[in-house]
Structure 1
Amino acid sequence: MPVYRGRFAPSPTGDLHLGSLLAAVASYLEARVAGGEWLLRIEDLDPPRIVPGAADRILQILDAYGFEWDGPVRYQSERGDLYLAEIERLKSTGWLYGCACTRKEIAAIAHAGIDGPVYPGTCRTGLAGGRMARAWRLRVGEAVVDFEDAVQGWRRQDLVREVGDFALLRADGLVAYQLAVVVDDAAQGITHVVRGADLLDSTPRQCYLQQRLGYLRPAYAHIPVLVNAQGEKLSKQTLAAPLQAGLAVHSLVAALALLRQLPPQDLNRASLAEVWQWARSHWRIDALAGVKSITMQGVDTGF
């Protein structure tokens, strides 16, 4: 096993944009500066949200931007048996239970948490007569999860009060993201996870699930997300412009500037290889310490 194995795991719900590029650049440079590996995983877990052709375009743009990944690209859509096996293991040990509650029923009696209504444990001791399980939930008990984030610092979350027992197999039959990402990271031997701060609140659930499954916990670093003038996360939903192959140098320099690496203006006239050489030589993730979001103000993004 390498000392450092990182990954980039985009969802093919659309093309990569500048916000995606920040996560890709940060995870890539952290891995390469550490002398480690950088893996690529396509998180195509939710078929209704997948955009046809997006996965291929993601690979093409990463290649055009000079990213080099180690090993084959993994696809979550091909790993369903692995997820279901871990679900059965959790069922057999009593950590997972069936839940018959609808979203409307939960919302009517639950208090608000960090990610929607906190499940009140209605089905924890068994299903009411005549009701069938719609989803399968993980017991959290009285768990309080602490972890040190390399960018955001010390974090603590009280799962029972802020999240509640959370679903690992959804009512629509799809495996939940929280399970898939934990199983994939363990199966691929990921030692360090660098991703956007929008996933910071999900991390305690993943840490808890890692413990229940007997997995090692990777180190985490949640970089700031890119937001627009309205304070909204730059995303496909907010009509973020897709990355263009012909703007690789300019976009990478813009990403480095947004990540507070202070690239010189003349780097825009450099070759792609020279941009990456400069980035490796100057990369400092601590320049982002404590920052959860950044705007494009003052940075020439070209979009």
Structure 2
Amino acid sequence: MKLLKQPFIQAYYWIGFSGFTIIFLVCFFLIVPPFTPYDPYHVNMSMKLQTISLDHWLGTDGLGRDVLSRILAGGQLTLGASLIVLLGTVIIGLPIGVLSGFVGGKLDRFFMRIADSFLAFPDFLIAIVLTGLLGPHLVNLVIAIIAVKWIAYARIARNTVQVEMNKEYIAIAKVNGVGRIRTMRKHLLPYVMRQVIALMPLDIGKIILMIASLSYIGLGVQPPGVEWGAMLNEGKMYFYQAPRLMILPGLAIMIIVILANLTGDRVQDRLGLSHRKSGR
């Protein structure tokens, strides 16, 4: 088990600047919005499409609402929903995958049939169908994405457990009378967590893109709610008059996704997992 500590230390260390930036931005978007100088929902048609000024640092939108306040409030909603989705997928997928790989047999075959049925179609397409069936709402959007994304973590956990089950130390643990629960918790879970740690930063970027994309086409946050994808949708009708209404939320999405991907790639490199697909 001591050998496992070094990869974890390396992973946390090499998150470095990108990881710190993501944490800072998440905290910033979750804490700052209540203290913004303007109400992001306040409509003032007399201030419609104001340019950048000292009063409105990023100008106003088509309804006279402060763009900076809306980007901050939208970041709070987008990042908050993404973290909830990520947490939900790990909580659901990890134990199912570990149990399926450890027990095997009928349970594993049942899980594989479910996984194959989901993997037969693109994640985004399934999320659109589920959100359309549940109805356009942020909560339904979160449920739909969790229903799609948990499969990836379950497959990673299952594949990792099946590989480790064939190794000598697991056989020794069985001979020594180590129970199933302790074997999973002490011997298998640390290896699974290495894979999960590497996947989570990459996945948060994908989840943010999925939430923003579905909100952009009207299946996520509904007016007057504010979210980066919804802001892109609202800004498209003013693209020629005020292109910043689409550029600014688009830049916010791009920066967060790039930082998440850089963090994920660095963690995978340090853990020696960059060459593996892990069932993704």
Give the structure-1-normalised TM-score.
0.26
State which structure, 1 or 2, has the greater radius of gyration over its C-alpha atoms. Answer: 2
Q: Tell which has more relative contact order, 1 or 2 (C-alpha 8 A, sep 6+).
A: 2
Give the structure-2-normalised TM-score.
0.27
Q: Which has the higher strand share?
A: 1
Q: Which has the higher helix share?
A: 2
